[in-house]
């Protein structure tokens, strides 16, 4: 029914819970699961955005590794969450 599921999460306990539910849905429908984490810091200087992104990578890796999410199925970006998520959903 669903070819691809895009799951937007934060690196938190709530994100872990959401990801767990998304995995169950993906397994049920034999869907590809893409996990996206968007850092909403567009108003900060680009160099500081990079620092925040570099700090977020290990957190996302830790969370997704618990569920064996492949690297090619993980996205970490800086931007307005609704813009980034919608853009990824249609690409």
CA 20 to chain centre: 13
Q: How far apart are CA 79 and CA 67, in angstroms?
A: 25
Residue 50: count other Cβ atoms within 10 Å of its Cβ: 12
Question: pLDDT category, 84, cuts 50, 70, 90?
Answer: very high
Q: Which token pair is 78?
A: 């800086």
If phi > 0 it is left, if psi is from -120 to 50 it is alpha, else beta; for residue 68 that is left
* Largest Cα span, the chain: 42
Q: Which domains does the chain possess?
A: 4-90 (3.40.50.620)
Q: For residue range 28-43, what is the model confidence (pLDDT) as tens digits?
A: 999 999 999 999 877 8
State residue 54's pLDDT score. Answer: 92
Q: For residue range 51-69, what is the model confidence (pLDDT) as tens digits?
A: 889 999 999 999 999 999 9
Q: What's the rounded mean pLDDT across residues 13-26?
A: 95
Residue 34: count other Cβ atoms within 10 Å of its Cβ: 20
């Amino acid at each position: 029914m669903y070819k691809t599921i895009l799951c937007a999460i934060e690196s938190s306990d709530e994100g872990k819970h959401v990801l767990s539910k998304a995995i169950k849905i993906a397994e049920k429908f034999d869907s590809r699961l893409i996990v996206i984490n968007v850092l909403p810091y567009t108003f900060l200087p680009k160099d500081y955005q990079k620092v925040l992104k570099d700090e977020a990578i290990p957190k996302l890796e830790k969370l997704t590794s618990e569920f064996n999410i492949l690297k090619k199925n993980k996205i970490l970006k800086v931007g307005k969450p609704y813009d980034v998520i919608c853009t990824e959903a249609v690409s």
